[in-house]
Chain A
Amino acid sequence: MTRPQNKPIVDVLLVEDNLSDVRLTGEAFQEVNASVRLAIAHDGDQALSLLRQQGPHRGAPRPRLILLDLNLPRMSGHEVLAEIKADPELRSIPVIVLTTSDAEIDMRNAGGLQASCYLRKPLDFAALVELVRMVDRSWIRSLEPPLTD
């Protein structure tokens, strides 16, 4: 819960339509790394305009990491991932796919579309905290500071 003043804020985009999952993920990051700032997109369109800093998001910081739920209303998570990887500006942002589905087809599609990682949503909070801790260690703390702030 501590937030050292000297630690820079890291922007992470969570694409998730389920409000309870948004809340749980937020709580988990609270416990793991308080300097992470979560931006929330409830569907694919919102996520893309946020990433492209369009409309109301003009001037908003570009996220350094994307946590993407595959099961989204309207555009599916796969389509969103394809859009991101097709955009030269966004292509380099790591995407971690979160899903409840075990189905192999999701894993293969995610791999083929260059998701950085595939993670299954844990069944309880303690496991979620462990998972977020792993993400924080592997993907966030290792990030270089942004060139411009």
Chain B
Amino acid sequence: MPGAPEITHPEAARITSTAADRVDILLVDDKVDKLMALEAVLADENVNIVKAQSGMEALRLLLKQDFALVLLDVHMPVMDGFETASMIRQRPRSEHTPIIFMTAVNAGEAHVSRGYSLGAVDYIFAPAVPEVIRAKAAVFIDLFRKTEQVKRQSEWLRSEAERRAALLETRLKRLLNRLDVGVFRTTLEGVLVEANPAFLNLLGLDSLEAAASADLQELHIPLRERPLVLGRHIEDGRVRERDVRLCRTDGTWIWCALSRTVSLGEDGATYVDGLLEDITERKQAEEALRESEQRFRLMADMAPVMIWVAGTEGERTFVNRLWLEFTGADPESTLGLKWLDYVHPDDRERCRDVFRSPIWKGESRRLEYRLRRHDGVYGWVMASIVPRFIESGSFAGYIGSSVDITAHKLAQDVLEQQARELARSNADLQQFAFVASHDLQEPLRMVASFTDLLARRYRGKLDAQADEYIAFAVDGAKRMQRLIHDLLAYSRIGTDRQRSEPCDTGALFDRAVRDLDLAIRESGAEVTRGPLPTVPGDATQLAQVFQNLIGNAVKFRRADPPRVRVDAEMKDDAWLFSVRDNGIGIERRFAERVFEIFQRLHRHDHYTGTGIGLAICKRIVQQHGGRIWVESEPGVGSVFRFTITAR
């Protein structure tokens, strides 16, 4: 059997071994002796001889079993050989059973041809030589054996194929059953033919039969859709994919990825094979992302500041409404361009520097720069810029928000300008006061010295009136000297560089009391103090404050001997000093005015002074970050208070 598959299965041995089984030969003759003779000729251990004495008996046997060969006597009563052969041929089972006719006489050509037309395969004329009979029978016995073997082999192959197919199908079924992707097959009309549990589960179906009865309108629409043209798609095996929204039997909706292809079924019909995968979660995530993006966009557009997002190279990827309004940029074409485009050319380098700096790690940067407005004029904005990082931690660009500070900036410029002018005019004024008082001192020194010399040399030598005039001139010159001296001291506060060192105010008090020794002794004053702190400041200036305040307390006294008390206490990060006296006091309406320069409340001949002392005190205290004021009751006394910051 050329081309037949080699059989290696253990089963094959059993199949081949049956080749040696006995085969049946049917001998049909009405004469027993002839049957016996033939049996003797054909007797063989591998051959089983079955004898029939009539055509009817032969037909009966042929119904029950297959024979390798039928040796048929032509001349028989009732039903002759030809009739019998004709009957044999009419039956499907024996249709192809070889028949050899046997005839005793030479019946002629017509006889033989009739036999052949009835399906005989050979003729044996009696008396026949036994070897010829044996040889002819052997051919058919052998043929039968081979045919049987082939039959058995093909039988085995068929069953093997069936077995394998069954195994494959089981395996496939198991896989399909366990798959969480829906697998289905429909006709081209969309009628479900097959579906795995996952498919049924996805749609909430109990069985394939339920699918037929359920109202799956929403399912059938995508399933039935037929842009899949028959033939072409079978050839290219193209797979169609799309996302569909399906309604489950319980009324809930799910998103599915549907992929289909047209394929030829085992039965030769054309089907649509498809996969259905639940992608609801992914869709929901996408939806959520889209929604959050929309929300961001809405919020960004409603925000009262400009908001922009830039990529790693500074290219704009998003700008909000306000940014577009400010710059007048076209919303379509502006994305993708560099954010620096709208920045004033003079400010670009500064902006770039901020981004280049290596310490830029996560924290936001504040930046002020000029941004081109829709009208071409540059406006000032203050931007807060923060770098963006994606989940993996790699740098993704920047997000910035900017506020229009043009008006603020202009106001600030004006303010700064005014402050500069004020500072300059202040400095000019102080310089003027200093120069004026210094230069006034020189000629005054001459006036004072010569009137003094005049008084020395000529007192009592001229008349009494001249002595009085000279005395007035001397007094005037002295007063003016004090005035200029105080003015000079006043103008120096703030122009001289101020020192800041620890100052022991107790020591400063002691120094002031020493310097005022004469006035204190003359007035019989009692000047005392509580514990006084060490404060940061300029010792020379602070000494002046103590001297002026204590000096005033002693000077503006009533008839009783003055009592002066200096104390200090800590109050809100500052030392609060008080200088208390029992003097004449100050009317409330003058409480503020006494600190103004040249402000005097009394006549020269009652209380001497230039009216600068308290102005100096006020200025020094202010230079030390404090303030000074007076609480007083006329006729009872005054308390001068001032603060000095402790830090």
Interface residues of B in 423-465 (CB under 8 A from A): 441-442, 445-446, 448-450, 452-453, 456
Which of B441, B445, B452, B477 is in CB contact (< 8 Å) with A126? B452
How far, in Å, is B33 (CB) from chain A's closest CB? 173
Kindly provide the distance from the CB of B212 to the nearest chain A CB, expressed in whole angstroms.
114
Neighbouring A residues of B452 by C-beta, 8 Å: 124-126
Q: Is B153 an interface residue (CB 8 A)?
A: no
CB-CB under 8 A from B450, the residues of chain A are: 20, 24, 125
Q: Is the CB of B449 within 8 A of A125?
A: yes
The reply to whether A125 and B456 form a contact with Cβ atoms under 8 Å apart is: yes
Residues of A within 8 A of B453 (CB): 24, 27, 125
Q: Does B317 contact A (CB under 8 A)?
A: no
A3 to chain B, nearest CB (A): 18
Q: Does B548 contact A (CB under 8 A)?
A: no
Q: Is the interface of B mostly helix, strand, loop or mixed?
A: helix
Complex contacts, A121 vs chain B, CB 8 Å: 445
Chain A residue nearest to B478 (CB atoms) is: A124
Closest to B452 in A: A125
Which A85-116 residues sit within 8 Å CB-CB of chain B? Answer: 100
Please tell me if B481 contacts chain A, counting CB pairs below 8 Å. Answer: yes
Check A128 for interface membership: any CB of B closer than 8 A: yes
Interchain CB contact under 8 A, B456 and A100: no
A26 to chain B, nearest CB (A): 11
Docked complex: A16-69 residues within 8 A CB-CB of B: 20, 24, 27
Q: Are B445 and A100 in contact (CB under 8 A)?
A: yes
Instruction: Report chain B residues within 8 Å CB of A20.
Output: 446, 449-450
Q: How far is the CA of A125 from the CA of B442 in the complex (A)?
A: 14
- The answer to whether B446 touches A123 (Cβ under 8 A) is no
The answer to whether B441 touches A100, judged by C-beta atoms less than 8 angstroms apart, is yes
A100 to B446, CA, bound (A): 12
Q: Which residues on B sit within 8 Å (CB–CB) of A123?
A: 445, 448-449, 481
Residues of A within 8 A of B441 (CB): 100
Question: Which residue on A lies nearest to B477, using beta carbons?
Answer: A124
Q: Could you tell me the distance between the alpha carbons of A44 and B235 in the complex, rounded to whole angstroms?
A: 122
**How far apart are the CA atoms of A24 and B451 in the complex, in Å?**
11
**Main SS of chain A's interface residues?**
helix
A77 CA / B229 CA spacing, docked (Å): 118
In the complex, which of the residues A20, A24, A123, A128 has the most CB atoms of chain B within 10 Å of its own CB atom? Answer: A123
Q: Hey, what's the 0/1 contact readout for A119-134 against B, CB within 8 Å counting as 1? A: 0011111101000000
A122 / chain B contacts, CB cutoff of 8 Å: 449
Among candidates A100, A126, A128, residue contacting B442 with C-beta atoms closer than 8 Å:
A100
Shortest distance between the CB of A136 and any CB in chain B (Å)? 18
Tell me how far the C-beta of B311 lies from the nearest C-beta in chain A, rounded to whole angstroms: 62
Q: Are B442 and A24 in contact (CB under 8 A)?
A: no
| B328–chain A nearest beta-carbon distance, Å | 62
Closest beta carbon of chain A to B492's beta carbon, Å = 10
Min CB–CB distance B7 → chain A (angstroms):
127
In the complex, how many angstroms separate the beta carbon of A108 from the nearest chain B beta carbon? 16
CA distance A122 to B441 in the complex (A): 11
What's the nearest-Cβ distance from chain B to residue A22, in Å?
A: 12
Task: Kindly state the separation between the CA atoms of A123 and B483 in the bound complex, as whole angstroms.
Answer: 13
Interface centre among B450, B453, B456, by most A CB within 10 Å? B453
Q: How far is the CA of A125 from the CA of B478 in the complex (A)?
A: 12
**What B residues does A124 contact at CB under 8 A?**
445, 448-449, 452, 477-478
C-beta contact mask, B262-280 vs A, less than 8 Å → 1, else 0? 0000000000000000000
Task: Tell me the smallest distance from the CB of A132 to a CB of chain B, in Å.
Answer: 12
Chain A residues within an 8 Å CB radius of B448? 123-125
With a cutoff of 8 Å between Cβ atoms, the chain A residues found around residue B449 in the complex are 20, 24, 122-125, 128
Chain A minimum-CB-distance residue to B445: A123
Q: State how many angstroms separate the Cβ of A100 from the closest Cβ of chain B.
A: 6
Closest to A71 in B: B442
Bound CA span A24–B445, Å: 11
CB-CB nearest in chain A for B455: A125
Among B441, B442, B452, B477: residue with most chain A CB under 10 A: B452
Q: How far is the CA of A62 from the CA of B478 in the complex (A)?
A: 39
Report which residue of A121, A125, A126 has the largest number of chain B beta carbons within 10 angstroms of its beta carbon. Answer: A125
Complex formed: what's the CA distance from A124 to B485 in Å? 14
- Measured CB to CB, the closest approach of chain A to B459, in angstroms, equals 12
Which chain A residues lie closer than 8 Å to B477 at the CB level? 124
CA distance in complex: A121, B453 (Å): 15
In this complex, what residue of A is CB-closest to B443? Answer: A20
- Shortest CB-to-CB span from A8 to chain B, Å, is 28
Contact mask for chain B residues 29-66; partner A; CB cutoff 8 A; 1 contact, 0 none: 00000000000000000000000000000000000000
Q: Say how far B270's CB is from chain A's closest CB, in angstroms.
A: 113
A20 to chain B, nearest CB (A): 5
| Measured CA separation A123–B478 after assembly (Å) | 9
Q: How far is the CB of B442 from chain A (nearest CB, A)?
A: 6
When chains A and B are docked, how far (Å) is the Cα of A27 from the Cα of B452? 12
**Roughly how many angstroms separate A20 CA and B443 CA in the complex, as a whole number?**
10
**With A and B bound together, what is the CA distance between A126 and B455 in angstroms?**
10
| Contact A126 B481, CB 8 Å, known A20-B450, A100-B445, A121-B445 | no
Contact partners of B456 in chain A: CB under 8 A: 125-126
Q: Which residues on B sit within 8 Å (CB–CB) of A126?
A: 452, 456
Q: Please, which residues of chain A bring their CB within 8 A of the CB of B445?
A: 100, 121, 123-124
Q: Tell me, in angstroms, the Cα distance from A128 to B449 when the chains sit together.
A: 8
Mask of B292-312 contacts with A, CB within 8 angstroms, 1/0: 000000000000000000000
Give the docked Cα–Cα distance between A126 and B456 (Å): 9
A122 and B449 alpha carbons, distance in the complex (Å): 9
Chain B residues with CB under 8 Å of A100's CB are 441-442, 445
Chain A proximity of B341: nearest CB distance (Å)? 57
Docked CA distance A128–B446 (Å): 12
CA distance A121 to B444 in the complex (A): 13
**A130, chain B: closest CB distance, angstroms:** 12
In the complex, A27 Cα to B446 Cα: how many Å? 13
> CA separation between A89 and B481, bound complex, in Å?
42
From residue B445, how far is it (CB to closest CB) to chain A in Å? 6
Query: How many angstroms between the C-alpha atoms of A24 and B441 in the bound complex?
Result: 16
* Max chain B Cβ within 10 angstroms of own Cβ: one of A24, A100, A124, A126: A124
Q: Which residue of B lies closest to A24 (CB)?
A: B449
Write the chain B residue with the least CB distance to A101.
B438
Closest to B446 in A: A20
Residue of B nearest to A128 (CB): B449
The chain B residue sitting closest to A20, CB to CB, is B446
B450-496 with Cβ < 8 A to chain A: 450, 452-453, 456, 477-478, 481
Q: How many angstroms between the C-alpha atoms of A20 and B449 in the bound complex?
A: 10
B446 to chain A: which residues have CB within 8 Å?
20
How far, in whole Å, are A20 and B450 apart by their CA atoms in the complex?
9
Closest 6 CB pairs of A and B: A125-B452, A125-B453, A124-B452, A125-B449, A124-B448, A20-B446
Could you give 24 example pairs across A and B, Cβ below 8 Å?
Answer: A20-B446, A20-B449, A20-B450, A24-B449, A24-B450, A24-B453, A27-B453, A100-B441, A100-B442, A100-B445, A121-B445, A122-B449, A124-B445, A124-B449, A124-B452, A124-B477, A124-B478, A125-B449, A125-B450, A125-B452, A125-B453, A125-B456, A126-B456, A128-B449
Beyond A20-B450, A124-B452: 5 further Cβ-contacts under 8 Å?
Answer: A20-B446, A100-B441, A121-B445, A124-B449, A125-B449
